[in-house]
Amino acid sequence: MIEGTSTTPRTRVLIADDEPIILMDLKRMLEDAGYDIVGEAGDGVRALELARTLDPDVVIMDIKMPAMDGLEAAKAIGEEKIAPVLLLTAYSQIDLVNRAKDAGVYCYLVKPYKEADLVPAIELTLSRWNEHQALSKEARDLEDRLETRKVVDRAKGILMDQYGLKEQEAFRRIQLQSMNTRKTMREIAEAIIIAHNV
């Protein structure tokens, strides 16, 4: 390993603001703080396009931009589960804050800001995003396990009726078939159900 290099990948950031000077300052500030700027946009449409193609870790954008404002872009980015969005804006009106919440924005920072404000906001945004992703995965896994259990229970019922097996014996038959064929118990159970319905 080369001295001074890190094995930790740098956070990939997409930035969007319609004011080139602000965009340039933001880029410099983020690079100085150790972030990797993977894309820059001057409007919401371009920000959305870049988010879809570049797959950034976080998107930082202004609200007031041409073509599509930052809130609309943030909503689309959130719905597509691309990355968390942090809004940087000169506007602090409560209606914009509420629209930001509705759009699924993870953090809202009012201009002018300093690097000392920006870095914690980015890190909190990433932390909240990761927690949300983990909870979503856990919910999907629970749903999948519940669905698997329902299918296995149904297949057990079919085996019990067809072969006069006890519940434990029917379960064991599905389990052994799963091990022997290297298929999941759900796949075996679904095959039993399909065969029974034919």
Residue 180's CATH number? 1.10.10.10
167 and 93 fall within a common domain:
no
Please check whether residue 3 lies inside any domain of the structure: no
pLDDT tens for residues 50-107?
Answer: 999 999 999 999 988 888 888 999 999 999 999 999 998 887 778 888 888 888 888 8
86 and 165 fall within a common domain:
no
47 and 107 fall within a common domain:
yes
Rounded distance between C-alpha atoms, residue 164 and residue 176, angstroms: 18
Cβ-based neighbours of 126, under 8 Å, separated by 6 or more = 11, 57, 58, 84
Please check whether residue 19 lies inside any domain of the structure: yes
16 and 109 fall within a common domain:
yes
The number of distinct structural domains making up the chain is: 2
Assign 1 a pLDDT band (cuts: 50, 70, 90). Answer: very low
63 and 108 fall within a common domain:
yes
103 and 180 fall within a common domain:
no
pLDDT tens for residues 123-171?
Answer: 999 989 889 888 988 999 899 999 999 999 999 999 999 989 999 999 9
pLDDT the model gives residue 192: 92
20 and 109 fall within a common domain:
yes
- The range of the structural domain enclosing residue 188 comes to 137-197
Please check whether residue 2 lies inside any domain of the structure: no
33 and 108 fall within a common domain:
yes
pTM: 0.73
| Whether 60 contacts 38, CB under 8 Å | no
- CATH number of the domain within which 91 lies: 3.40.50.2300
- β-bridge pairing 107-110 and 85-89: parallel
pLDDT tens for residues 4-18?
Answer: 455 567 999 999 999
Among 113, 128, 163, where does a domain finish? 113
| Whether 157 contacts 147, CB under 8 Å | no
pLDDT the model gives residue 85: 94
Please check whether residue 126 lies inside any domain of the structure: no
pLDDT the model gives residue 60: 95
170 and 91 fall within a common domain:
no
Query: What would the 3-class secondary structure string for 148-183 be?
Result: HHHHHHHHHHHHHHHHCCCHHHHHHHHHHHHHHHCC
38 and 90 fall within a common domain:
yes
Among 113, 147, 173, where does a domain finish? 113
pLDDT at 193 > cutoff 50: yes
